[in-house]
Amino acid sequence: MYVGSSIRKELNAAKKSFEEARDAFESLQETLEVLADKKLLKGIRSSEKDFSDGRFHSIVNLKV
């Protein structure tokens, strides 16, 4: 079946829009999962406080 170039362009644009919407939806789902996890949120807040209080190590100072 022959598909004209203008239709092909429209299909490609629609495909790109769909993929962007799917990626945004997946990102939103992941965000909601994090926000629903009280233990994880507590850990994130604790880490933010540690960082703001200067309790962290530079990657340069870490020994492997």
Helix and strand numbers (H, E) in the chain are 2, 0
What is the chain's pLDDT, residue by residue, as a tens digit (64 residues)? 677 899 999 999 999 999 999 999 999 999 999 999 999 999 999 999 999 999 988 888 887 6
DSSP secondary structure letter of residue 60: G
As for how many domains the chain has, the answer is 1
Structural domain span for residue 45:
5-61
Distance of alpha carbon 54 from the chain centroid: 27
Residue with tokens 């703001």: 52
The overall pTM is greater than 0.95:
no
